[in-house]
Amino acid sequence: MIISVASGKGGTGKTTVATSLARSLGKVQFLDCDVEEPNAHIFLKPNIDQKKPVGIPVPEVDKDRCNYCGKCAEVCEFNAIVVIKDKVLIFPEMCHGCGGCTYICPENAIKEIDRTIGVIERGTAGTIDFVHGILNVGEPMAPPLIREVKRLINHQGNTIIDASPGTSCPVVGAVKDSDFCLLVTEPTPFGLNDLKLAVGMLKKLSIPYGVIINTADLGDAEVENYCRAENIPILMTIPWDRRIAEAYSRGIPLVEVLPEYKEKFSNLYAQIMELCDMRSAI
Ligand code: SF4
Ligand code: SF4
């Protein structure tokens, strides 16, 4: 069972929910796929014992073989390779490593070299098998690193995926193939706007979802009204609590500072299972 945790808007408490759910489930795998800014390790404090650099293959041209025919540039959808007269220019940061140019080159003039984009770290945090990806600073290619993190999914048990906020490519890459997605939001106009975008994304991906409203007693009732009108299950509400905010600032999971939430998160998991069972019975 793969449960992803996402949020249209940043700062809604997504990692608080993801780490507390993990801490409430016992033996579980946790993948932090928010590779541009992974922070779940601050709360789960894993002992990291494995590190692996991750790269993508980018082209390198052998000038002695190249006849400057331009076919590599024509095939590149990302303008990462350009041929100007007797020069082939390569822009590695724009290259998606698709291999198209190497395949099309009639002179066999292109070989692929690895460009490191980040690192994967793996370890344990109590009963949690912890994995996160860390993208190099300024590196735009998050999706290939997210794919590598997700290659480590253990399909025998439960996996929680912490996605980055928003609805862009890295989020789609993180949540796709999930059995269920939790959307964490806040009851504000911005929260509602971004929740609607996230719901649209999950509908396109055909992933079942439910909502958690954080700081539920602040703001207005529009998020709740929207969920009821759209038949979206509200699986949990978390009121604003100074103790939660303080624990967050000190890197302590919610369920450790307020242990009564462990049962709430276990119930949340049971609700998710039920919703997934209902869906598979249709
Ligand atoms: S396709 Fe090959 S031969 Fe043609 S310009 Fe590109 S690298 Fe050179
Ligand atoms: S590997 Fe793909 S993305 Fe990169 S330069 Fe070649 S065609 Fe473009």
Query: What 8-state DSSP symbol labels residue 139?
Result: -
Question: Is residue 76 lining ligand 2, measured as CB closer than 6 Å?
Answer: yes
Distance from C-alpha of 266 to C-alpha of 26, rounded to nearest angstrom: 10
Which pLDDT does position 281 carry in this prediction?
65
User: Which residues, including other chains, have CB under 8 Å from residue 267's CB and lie 6 or more apart?
Assistant: none
Ligand 2 centroid to residue 57 C-alpha, Å = 9
The pLDDT profile of the chain, 282 residues, written as one tens digit per residue, is 999 999 977 788 899 999 999 999 989 999 999 999 999 999 999 999 999 999 999 999 999 999 999 999 999 999 999 999 899 999 999 999 999 999 999 999 999 999 999 999 999 999 999 999 999 999 989 999 999 999 999 999 999 999 999 898 999 999 999 999 999 999 999 999 999 999 999 999 999 999 999 998 988 999 999 999 999 999 999 999 999 999 999 999 999 999 999 999 999 999 999 998 877 665
Q: Which tokens sit at 162?
A: 């912490």
Distance from C-alpha of 249 to C-alpha of 244, rounded to nearest angstrom: 9
Please choose from 56, 81, 113 the residue to mutate so as to test ligand 2's pocket, defined by most ligand atoms within 8 A of CB. 81
Closest CA to ligand 1's atom 3: 66
Which of helix, strand or coil describes residue 103? helix
Ligand 2 centroid to residue 89 C-alpha, Å = 12
User: Of 158, 165, 107, nearest to 129 (Cα)?
Assistant: 158
Q: Is 13 left (phi over 0), alpha (psi -120 to 50) or beta?
A: left
Which pLDDT does position 160 carry in this prediction?
98
Question: Is residue 78 lining ligand 2, measured as CB closer than 6 Å?
Answer: yes
Strand order in the sheet with 110-125: 47-61, 110-125, 128-135, 28-32, 159-162, 2-6, 180-185, 209-214, 234-238
Question: Is residue 95 lining ligand 2, measured as CB closer than 6 Å?
Answer: yes
Please choose from 63, 65, 86, 107 the residue to mutate so as to test ligand 1's pocket, defined by most ligand atoms within 8 A of CB. 107
Could you identify the residue written with the tokens 């922070």?
Answer: 39
Predicted TM-score (pTM) of this structure: 0.91
Check: CB of residue 95 under 8 Å from CB of residue 56: yes
Please choose from 63, 65, 66 the residue to mutate so as to test ligand 1's pocket, defined by most ligand atoms within 8 A of CB. 66
Please, what is the Cα angle at 38 between 163 and 185, to 5 degrees?
45
Ligand 1 centroid to residue 57 C-alpha, Å = 17
Write the CA distances from 6 to 11, 101, 201, integer angstroms. 11, 35, 11
Ligand 2 centroid to residue 88 C-alpha, Å = 13
Distance from C-alpha of 179 to C-alpha of 166, rounded to nearest angstrom: 19
Question: Is residue 98 lining ligand 2, measured as CB closer than 6 Å?
Answer: yes
Question: Is residue 18 lining ligand 2, measured as CB closer than 6 Å?
Answer: no
Q: Which tokens sit at 268?
A: 């949340």
Distance from C-alpha of 162 to C-alpha of 39, rounded to nearest angstrom: 10
Q: Which tokens sit at 192?
A: 């509602």
Which pLDDT does position 10 carry in this prediction?
78
